[in-house]
Chains A and B, each alone.
Chain A
């Protein structure tokens, strides 16, 4: 049981390049989330998904896209990288329908855009 895995761990992009951050969970969780964490700051929700085929915007969605074709995978796409997207990105998942559903986090992807 690997939990939530993310790849890559580190990446440096040039302005205008694109990339996909991968996220996979093996816990059969319905809910998946993408957050960014800027230095010294808390987490900001980028996008989330309540199940395969369903995604919705979070607090800071501009410049990103997501898809959820399977329960396990929730990739995050950056189309035109900008320096403002330099951050650490965390993927998380949780199971619901009822009760307190804690989130399980991946180890993060540290992205630098120069």
Chain B
């Protein structure tokens, strides 16, 4: 079947620290992979995506590389800001059905 597993939060970092949020997946075939971000009181917004193995998605300083050999899509950012505080969801799309991880809350302190 299809599923997404991501690290539990909350993750608390100081401003300018390095961020990694782990995400691994199980899927048949060749899914597309996504990271969504949810700010308090809002819906989910697409952060970045990757469509095939070794693709790197990037946006707003965030990056994630589609690793088929380890079935992973870890989210990274070199220097987080207070404004990055949000909940981050890893997701996959396989045959037009989406599967979401449980979300990782990030708190960035000034």
Which residues of chain A have a CB within 8 Å of any CB of chain B?
A: 4, 31, 33, 40-43, 45, 48, 50, 90, 92, 94, 96, 99-108
Which residues of chain A come closer than 8 Å to B100, judged between CB atoms? Answer: 42-43
- Whether A48 and B97, one on each chain, are in contact in the complex, defined by CB atoms closer than 8 angstroms, is yes
- Whether A43 and B51, one on each chain, are in contact in the complex, defined by CB atoms closer than 8 angstroms, is no
Which one of A42, A50, A99, A104 lies within 8 Å of B89 (CB-CB)?
Answer: A42
- Whether A50 and B102, one on each chain, are in contact in the complex, defined by CB atoms closer than 8 angstroms, is no
CA distance A84 to B93 in the complex (A): 28
- Whether A100 and B93, one on each chain, are in contact in the complex, defined by CB atoms closer than 8 angstroms, is yes
- Whether B43 and A101, one on each chain, are in contact in the complex, defined by CB atoms closer than 8 angstroms, is no
Which residues of chain B have a CB within 8 Å of any CB of chain A?
A: 32, 34, 36, 42-46, 49, 51, 89, 93, 96-98, 100-103
- Whether B103 and A42, one on each chain, are in contact in the complex, defined by CB atoms closer than 8 angstroms, is yes
Nearest B residue to A100 via CB reads: B32
Which residues of chain B come closer than 8 Å to A90, judged between CB atoms? Answer: 43-44
- Whether A96 and B96, one on each chain, are in contact in the complex, defined by CB atoms closer than 8 angstroms, is yes
CA distance A40 to B9 in the complex (A): 10
- Whether A108 and B43, one on each chain, are in contact in the complex, defined by CB atoms closer than 8 angstroms, is yes
Summarize B's interface: helix, strand, loop or mixed.
Answer: strand
Nearest A residue to B55 via CB reads: A100
Which residues of chain A come closer than 8 Å to B89, judged between CB atoms? Answer: 42-43
CA distance A64 to B89 in the complex (A): 25
- Whether A101 and B51, one on each chain, are in contact in the complex, defined by CB atoms closer than 8 angstroms, is no
- Can you give 30 contacting A-B residue pairs, CB < 8 Å? A33-B98, A40-B103, A41-B103, A42-B89, A42-B103, A43-B89, A43-B100, A45-B97, A45-B98, A99-B32, A99-B51, A100-B32, A100-B49, A100-B51, A100-B93, A101-B32, A101-B93, A101-B96, A102-B34, A102-B46, A102-B49, A102-B93, A103-B44, A103-B98, A105-B43, A105-B45, A107-B42, A107-B43, A108-B42, A108-B43
Closest 4 CB pairs of A and B: A100-B32, A105-B43, A42-B102, A100-B51
Which residues of chain A come closer than 8 Å to B98, judged between CB atoms? Answer: 33, 45, 103
